[in-house]
Structure 1
Amino acid sequence: MTEGRLFEDVDTYINSLFAVEDAVLTRAVERSTAAGLPEIQLSPGQAKLIYLLAKMIGAKRMLEVGTLGGYSTVWLGRALPDDGELISIELDPGHAKVARETLVDAGLDKTCRIIEGRGLDVMNTLTPHFDMVFLDANKDGYPAYLKQAIRLVRPGGLIVADNVVREGAVLEPSKVDPNAIGAAAFNQALASHPQLEAIVLQQVGIKGHDGLAVARVKDD
């Protein structure tokens, strides 16, 4: 068995124990595939991790930047209490349409709201205090998103960002790869910002080789 196949098999094993998809999540993936959306949503295990992070801090107000078909939105929405709120920002109207159908299917359309528009533009209109911000949009925009996330997240809250390793491309980001350049700049800003304490979790498995950044906004 090759090393890559072993990572995938272990990932599948973990998902089978800790992140089994129910019918709503299965339909969410099928709906996105049928609509021609790129298959870049989180794996079940990755989604379970952000769900648990939200639960651990008792998140009641969350922001997601990058909705895609709503798969991760459902996981985050399920972490909310009944009086919680999730705002998800999506640039592509077609993606937003699919995601709204998924939220209705999941019974989360009352607590989860999708705003169409550019991530940074919408973030600029929002007011603190969010308990958690999850970034999963264009990586070249991550450094700018981080500045807004720090403004929006309460002390003790979390900033979580997907795709920050990019198969190791962040080690030597090419001038022709804006996503790797953006992820590397984001990681550097995350590590050096005085208001944050953070780590990047390197991840390998069915979604390939990448990483998840987790940062806590320090208490005042």
Structure 2
Amino acid sequence: MNTELFSKVDNYISSLLAVEDEALKNTIASLNNNRIPQQSISPNQGKFLQVLIKACNAKNALELGTLGGYSTIWIARALAEDGKVITLEFDEHHAKVAQENIDNAGLSHKVEIMVGKALDILPSLIADQIAPFDFIFIDADKPPYAKYFEFALKLARKGTIIVCDNVIREGKVLDKNSDDEKVKGVQILNEMLSENNKVTSIILQTVGVKEYDGMVVAVVN
């Protein structure tokens, strides 16, 4: 793969259509400063989420996997002024850094970080009748991806857009004998979607500064 070319084209696109402001740049810098892995989405992927959010006229969004708040900022900015993002993060340290970045971006009024295991929090969102969400972004630990998606469906409405990141894993999903738990997790999701009539879905291959991967994009029927 010509990764150098992919990165150059990715940077070309972002320089035109997905320019990072200081809040986004500072969020990326904060990860290094706080020893958090650089696993955020790219600027172009952030803008892609914004396009989808605008397409479904989303007001309420749910995110699984906050990390440092980079994707959260992209999502929150695309919502209506009275919109809200609930974002779930397992790691307390990550959540603390993310809150600082969200505050610095002036988005505290739009974002609520809930700390804990997503599989524990999601049932409570259902029980508390927080749903429906108009847009759901799943970018958390990969082994339970199919379970996350099933919860997402319970928290969605007709027309809700659900996006799942990192589902191609540099082509490793083709290895049916993989013993990588992350690969297995996304394989289960991808295969489940092939038989799921509750959504209309596709997997988009992605290349660029984040190298080679893919995203599920699904619309609830």
Query: Same fold by TM-score, threshold 0.5 exceeded?
Result: yes
> Which whole-Å CA distance do the structure 1 matches of 2:27 and 2:58 have between them?
23
- Residues 173 and 180 in structure 1, CA contact (< 8 A), matched pair in contact too: no
CA distance in 1: counterparts of 2:51 and 2:105, whole angstroms: 18
User: Take 2:82 and 2:15, find their aligned partners in 1: how far apart are those partners?
Assistant: 31
Residue from 151, 166, 171 that aligns with 1:168? 171
**Matched residue SS, 2:207:** strand
**How many residues get paired?**
217
User: Match for residue 201 of structure 1?
Assistant: 204
**Residue 110 of structure 1 aligns to a residue in which SS?**
helix
CA distance in 2, matches of 1:155, 1:161: 18
Provide, for residues 140-179 of structure 1, a one-character-per-residue CA deviation record: whole Å limited to 9, x for no partner. Answer: 1101001100110111111100000000111114442010
What are the residue-to-residue correspondences of 1:1-80 with 2, within 5 Å? 3-80=2-79
Cα offset for 1:120?
A: 1.3
1:114 aligns with: 113
Alpha-carbon distance between aligned partners in 2 of 1:154 and 1:145, rounded to the nearest angstrom: 16
CA distance in 2, matches of 1:19, 1:115: 28
Query: Is residue 63–residue 88 contact of structure 1 (8 Å, CA) maintained in 2?
Result: yes
AA of the residue aligned to 2:184: I
Structure 1 gap segments, 5+ residues each: none
1:87 aligned residue: 86
Consecutive aligned runs of 4 or more in structure 1 exceeding 4 Å deviation: none
Contact 1:174 1:181 in 2 (8 A): no
The residue type paired with residue 157 of structure 1 is T
Paired with 1:176 and 1:184, the residues of 2 have a C-alpha distance of 12
Mapping 1:183-198, distance limit 5 Å: 183-198=186-201
Could you tell me how far 1:5 is from its partner in structure 2?
1.1
1:125 aligns with 2:124: yes
Q: Secondary structure at the match of 2:219?
A: strand
Aligned residue among 131, 135, 140 for 1:137 = 140
Post-superposition Cα deviations, 1:56-105, rounded to whole Å, max 9, x if no partner, equal 11100110000000000000000111111110000000000000001100
Give the conservation status (yes or no) of the 8 Å contact 1:150–1:217.
yes
- TM-score by length of structure 1 reads 0.96
Q: Which amino acid aligns with 1:4?
A: T
* 1:15 Cα deviation from its structure 2 partner: 1.0
1:148 to 134, 148, 151: 151
Distance in 2 between residues matched to 1:46 and 1:108, nearest whole Å: 20
- Range with greater deviation from structure 2 (143-152 or 172-181): 172-181
Structure 1 residues 208 and 58: alpha-carbon distance in aligned structure 2, compared to 1, 3 A threshold: same
Deviation of residue 3 (structure 1)? 1.7
Check conservation: 1:37, 1:95, Cα contact below 8 A: yes
For 1:214 and 1:191, locate their aligned partners in 2 and report how far apart those are by CA, in whole Å.
Answer: 13
* Letter paired with 1:82: E
RMSD of the alignment, in Å?
Answer: 1.0
Q: Distance in 2 between matches of 1:173 and 1:51?
A: 34
Task: Check whether the contact 1:190–1:215 (CA below 8 A) recurs between aligned residues.
Answer: no
| Contact 1:174-1:180 at 8 Å conserved across structures | no
